A and B are shown apart, each in its own frame.
Chain A
């Protein structure tokens, strides 16, 4: 008996390790594939899809799928074997007794199945209530100034209590179900044993069954409880797995960006817009309308305009984060769409408006596009972006960690770090998207001075709402509501009576007042 148990233990080990282990490896591969796929989806996909929803595919749905392959398969297999063997052995002892005593057991499977299904929907309700609760807390903390200014903390706390109670009710609905399940399982499994004792006992008295036979029979019956429960669970698991698989399929079915032809870039590229229009998916108005311009090799284009005039969109189109709805963009005379997807990305250094930095060290952020850059060139790019003074005040210099767990940079510091990240690429095409808007005027002027020789060797597009950032450009476009309303050289534009001249006058006065006192 001990020998048989030892053998059983070895097999049990192998079964768990192989099946569940295998499911974890499958999960690993699937998650990697999913990530690669999602990274290739175009930027507008991320605008349409809620981040939380996307993350749930990576965690919950993959987990549900893994459970089918791992524990699901394992239980399905082991319970079939156990059930078949036990029932065979019980029938060998007495077929009639088996029939009578086994009567409550199919009920157990059924109860488990309905339990696991109901549990799933009720758990959803718990999760939804939890989601509402979290969202409310977040909103109330974000709007705490208003709540305080109007002394509404108490009335809002009462509203919070309602959600809190709904959450309690949802949790209790699950508890009630669990309680019922536990109670029903105990009663059903126990009745099987009691029936066996009653019917078997009589058979023993009538001499149709040995006492040992009855004991063995009861032991087998007791063994059956778990496999019968597992039948219900596995069916539930399969159902959830099917739902998860459908959601993951849906994600995989989203078409990735279309890659184009080969990369053939030369230094100092030419950029041309030919009657380009663009409208964001779902938007009612065009972000850009009928834009045409040309930036020659090694020249600098300045783009100014108010917030929302379409300046940033222009750069995103060059990087093919979006494609134009009409018209075409030429890089060295060839339509971007006929080139490789990353043709422009490969030669461009881009400093986006929001200066998105990652939660890693400042050094790694600056070297984001050149991960194996040597520390000297990283330091050089940082000092070109005038980060030296800031670095001196940071605890660990370039090794300083940013983000949630690290240091929070000021808006101006973030923008300069983002600029350094673009400069380190030594790009042929430099795209600056209002890169210095949070930097004070003095620092801006110093950075522009620093950049002038750098820009002289490159094709550059500077987008800004500040005149000072673009006035040295070879050509300036003034955008308003997605259209070019003025263009030309700084001196001509400033002398004219248009939007550019008005912006220029206001900014000149602002600079004067900043210096006053």
Chain B
């Protein structure tokens, strides 16, 4: 076991860099530009104009020397310089517009892509989230899309710009003097070869740097997150050594890139100097021979100086493209993951008028999370409309799963669940879920305000209903205490609320949606006696006149229930009223003693 061979964090950054251009991916990416087709046309036009305009300087200089300075035409020189100023001003305007257009193009495309990925994630089966950590999914929406944005705003369009500038310069040079142009082009293959070489090295170095940074971050996060263990096991020295190793890898990767740049830039400058010397030598001879004007030679030299930047930039763009392809691959793979299927529209209960009375039947329902261990093993039960049914059972007996299946967070692996005789799978999910409210044991609160957490941004929840729900759910006093009432801030994950307080807010949330069917997983955690009393009252308001399934942990809920189902090992083990089951002296009688204290 050597200190260096852990290969954690690998994969986060180590996906092999693949092709810089993948036609299939590119075509799919370009589709996101389609809604901005006009903007794309505008950006391209602006790019062409600004590339052309930037070629004006040397040409004007040459002209000024040959025509006006040599001819002593001061007025002509002034006119020409004024023209130059005008062109400069125009170029500035066009360039600014072009940068804005290009960025807007990329940003809009990414806005669309980001939203599509987000919406797709919200439509993926809940089971998908059990297998994929949220942190990794999140980077699809954020980091990967960001890389693509770079490609759109700095890559694709800029490549056109570079190529265009290159072509423009070459065309001007050839028109001015074909033999001299040839002399200037002589060094181009060399620059290109060097750039390719350099590109390869920098690519490897950058990949190593990214990998090193990812590892450093992963290592930091873990060793600082687990600092108590690090200290208890006195790993500080050893961890510092491990960290130094990762840090050294980072430094070396960086040094490799520094060396590559340190060789490349001077080399290109040297070649450029050679090219200029070549032009000066050959062109100077031509000027002396009268075959070339002095001004043309000056213009030539100035153009030659601008030759290399586009070539250098092209090498950079290569990197951007390569990363973008890798990100596109990941994003599209996610988008291609099938979302939850919806039933074909127009089914028996799809009509908006569907108004369930709320009789629920579980018909031989089977379910497993992992494909092997059965969690529900043939549950058959009838939940009568308008009544309260309590589910009772040991931890892990399958109660919570029964609730999750009814709300179709998961679908049964066998059997079916019906509401008023209609298979829940024949209902559009949104319709089904509007008819029922699910209060889970662990209440999830969003960061934002209390009001947002109760009405959940739903416009159909009127002010009035909101107020009624809060009062009926006994959350009014809690909210009044919070200082800013409904506007009070809720921290991330509701950190500032106790379990009991969260329950009250969750009850208010359920009431605000006035569901036909209520599914309630009571919290077991002990709450203080004052809150406990409030929760009891709220519960009664909540259950009145609704079809309710309550996973009951409170004695009163169990006792008042119209029907009690005892769930044991994925099946319904006993059923009946409180008195009947107690009298039967079976599992319920024992559970009852366990949960509500001996002798209760």
A residues with a Cβ closer than 8 A to B are 1-2, 4-6, 8-10, 12-13, 16-17, 20-21, 24-25, 27-28, 31-32, 35-36, 38-40, 43, 46, 51, 54-55, 58-59, 130, 133-135, 137-153, 155-161, 164-165, 168, 171-172, 175-176, 178-180, 182-184, 186-187, 190-191, 193-195, 197-198, 201-202, 204-205, 211, 214-215, 218-219, 222, 306, 316, 319, 321, 342, 345-346, 348, 350, 352, 356, 358-361, 363-364, 367-369, 371-372, 401, 403-406, 421, 425, 502, 505-506, 509-510, 512-514, 516-517
The 3 closest A-B pairs by CB, nearest first: A5-B273, A179-B99, A175-B103
Question: When chains A and B are docked, how far (Å) is the Cα of A364 from the Cα of B593?
Answer: 46
Closest to A195 in B: B81
B269 and A369 within 8 A (CB): no
B8 and A403 within 8 A (CB): yes
A211 and B258 within 8 A (CB): no
A405 and B10 within 8 A (CB): yes
A194 and B84 within 8 A (CB): yes
**Contact status of A350 and B142, CB under 8 A, knowing A168-B107, A218-B61:** no
* Chain B interface SS verdict (over half): helix
B138 and A137 within 8 A (CB): yes
List of A residues within 8 angstroms of B437 by Cβ: 149-150
List of A residues within 8 angstroms of B251 by Cβ: 24-25, 27-28
List of B residues within 8 angstroms of A172 by Cβ: 100, 103-104, 107
Question: When chains A and B are docked, how far (Å) is the Cα of A144 from the Cα of B226?
Answer: 28
Closest to B403 in A: A149
B1-39, CB < 8 A from A? 1, 3, 6-12
List of B residues within 8 angstroms of A186 by Cβ: 54, 88, 91-92, 95
A155 and B457 within 8 A (CB): yes
B234 and A346 within 8 A (CB): yes
Question: Can you show 16 pairs from A to B with CB atoms below 8 A apart?
Answer: A24-B251, A46-B224, A55-B221, A141-B134, A148-B122, A149-B440, A164-B111, A164-B115, A168-B107, A183-B99, A191-B88, A202-B74, A211-B70, A219-B301, A361-B1, A405-B11
Question: When chains A and B are docked, how far (Å) is the Cα of A482 from the Cα of B159?
Answer: 67
A186 to chain B minimum Cβ distance, whole angstroms, is 6
List of B residues within 8 angstroms of A190 by Cβ: 57, 84, 88, 91
Question: When chains A and B are docked, how far (Å) is the Cα of A205 from the Cα of B65?
Answer: 10
Known: A179-B97, A197-B64, A321-B232. 6 other contacts (CB 8 A): A1-B273, A38-B224, A40-B236, A137-B142, A179-B100, A352-B229
Question: When chains A and B are docked, how far (Å) is the Cα of A222 from the Cα of B99?
Answer: 24
A202 and B77 within 8 A (CB): yes
B246 to chain A minimum Cβ distance, whole angstroms, is 10
Count contacts between A and B, CB distance < 8 Å.
Answer: 378
- Contact for A352 among B69, B95, B232, CB less than 8 A: B232
List of A residues within 8 angstroms of B96 by Cβ: 179-180, 182-183
**Contact status of A31 and B254, CB under 8 A, knowing A137-B118, A360-B8, A513-B594:** no
**Contact status of A142 and B444, CB under 8 A, knowing A21-B255, A31-B247, A175-B100:** yes
List of B residues within 8 angstroms of A133 by Cβ: 141-142
List of B residues within 8 angstroms of A43 by Cβ: 227-228, 231
List of A residues within 8 angstroms of B302 by Cβ: 222
List of A residues within 8 angstroms of B590 by Cβ: 509, 512-513, 516
**Contact status of A20 and B247, CB under 8 A, knowing A43-B227, A141-B121, A359-B9:** no
List of B residues within 8 angstroms of A406 by Cβ: 8
A248 to chain B minimum Cβ distance, whole angstroms, is 15
List of B residues within 8 angstroms of A205 by Cβ: 69, 72, 74, 77
A155 and B232 within 8 A (CB): no
Question: When chains A and B are docked, how far (Å) is the Cα of A516 from the Cα of B407?
Answer: 30
Interface assignment of B108: CB less than 8 Å from any CB of chain A? yes
- Contact for A6 among B88, B230, B270, B394, CB less than 8 A: B270
List of B residues within 8 angstroms of A316 by Cβ: 228
B111 and A168 within 8 A (CB): yes
List of A residues within 8 angstroms of B221 by Cβ: 51, 55
Q: Mark B571-600, 1 if CB is under 8 A from A, else 0.
A: 001000000000000010011011001100
Question: When chains A and B are docked, how far (Å) is the Cα of A346 from the Cα of B591?
Answer: 46
A21 and B138 within 8 A (CB): no
Closest to A31 in B: B247
**Contact status of A21 and B258, CB under 8 A, knowing A39-B239, A371-B238:** yes
B126 and A145 within 8 A (CB): yes
Candidate in A150, A361, A403 with the most chain B CB atoms within 10 angstroms = A150
Question: When chains A and B are docked, how far (Å) is the Cα of A376 from the Cα of B441?
Answer: 45
Question: When chains A and B are docked, how far (Å) is the Cα of A172 from the Cα of B153?
Answer: 11
Question: When chains A and B are docked, how far (Å) is the Cα of A510 from the Cα of B395?
Answer: 10
A359 and B222 within 8 A (CB): yes
Interface assignment of B282: CB less than 8 Å from any CB of chain A? no
List of B residues within 8 angstroms of A364 by Cβ: 1, 6
Question: When chains A and B are docked, how far (Å) is the Cα of A218 from the Cα of B64?
Answer: 13
List of B residues within 8 angstroms of A191 by Cβ: 85, 88
Question: When chains A and B are docked, how far (Å) is the Cα of A28 from the Cα of B84?
Answer: 50
Interface assignment of B207: CB less than 8 Å from any CB of chain A? no
B129 and A348 within 8 A (CB): no
**Contact status of A153 and B122, CB under 8 A, knowing A175-B104, A193-B61:** yes
B122 and A144 within 8 A (CB): yes
B184 to chain A minimum Cβ distance, whole angstroms, is 16
- Contact for A138 among B138, B234, B265, B277, CB less than 8 A: B138
B138 and A165 within 8 A (CB): no
B97-148, CB < 8 A from A? 97-100, 103-104, 107-108, 110-111, 114-115, 118-119, 121-123, 126, 129, 133-138, 141-142, 146
**Contact status of A157 and B92, CB under 8 A, knowing A175-B103, A371-B3:** no
A497 to chain B minimum Cβ distance, whole angstroms, is 11
Interface assignment of B537: CB less than 8 Å from any CB of chain A? no
A498 to chain B minimum Cβ distance, whole angstroms, is 14
Interface assignment of B345: CB less than 8 Å from any CB of chain A? no
A175 and B407 within 8 A (CB): no
A164 and B243 within 8 A (CB): no
A145 and B444 within 8 A (CB): yes
List of A residues within 8 angstroms of B89 by Cβ: 187
B141 to chain A minimum Cβ distance, whole angstroms, is 5
Closest to A187 in B: B92
Interface assignment of B456: CB less than 8 Å from any CB of chain A? yes
B250 and A28 within 8 A (CB): yes
Interface assignment of B312: CB less than 8 Å from any CB of chain A? no
Candidate in B68, B81, B269 with the most chain A CB atoms within 10 angstroms = B81
Interface assignment of B371: CB less than 8 Å from any CB of chain A? no
Q: Which of B417-425, B428-436, B471-479 contacts A (4 or more CB under 8 A)?
A: B428-436
- Contact for A13 among B138, B229, B244, B263, CB less than 8 A: B263
Question: When chains A and B are docked, how far (Å) is the Cα of A140 from the Cα of B232?
Answer: 36
Question: When chains A and B are docked, how far (Å) is the Cα of A161 from the Cα of B227?
Answer: 38
Question: When chains A and B are docked, how far (Å) is the Cα of A118 from the Cα of B247?
Answer: 32
List of B residues within 8 angstroms of A321 by Cβ: 228, 231-232
**Contact status of A148 and B266, CB under 8 A, knowing A141-B121, A159-B457, A360-B8:** no
B119 and A182 within 8 A (CB): no
**Contact status of A13 and B8, CB under 8 A, knowing A142-B444, A197-B84:** no
Q: Mark B201-242, 1 if CB is under 8 A from A, else 0.
A: 000000000000100111011111111111111111011100
**Contact status of A342 and B234, CB under 8 A, knowing A51-B221, A148-B126, A187-B88:** yes
Interface assignment of B459: CB less than 8 Å from any CB of chain A? yes
List of A residues within 8 angstroms of B61 by Cβ: 193, 197, 218
A141 and B9 within 8 A (CB): no
List of B residues within 8 angstroms of A8 by Cβ: 266, 269-270, 273
Interface assignment of B307: CB less than 8 Å from any CB of chain A? no
Interface assignment of B484: CB less than 8 Å from any CB of chain A? no
B138 and A134 within 8 A (CB): yes
Interface assignment of B482: CB less than 8 Å from any CB of chain A? no
B233 and A405 within 8 A (CB): no
Closest to B78 in A: A198
A24 and B228 within 8 A (CB): no
Closest to A134 in B: B142
B99 and A178 within 8 A (CB): yes
Question: When chains A and B are docked, how far (Å) is the Cα of A363 from the Cα of B119?
Answer: 41
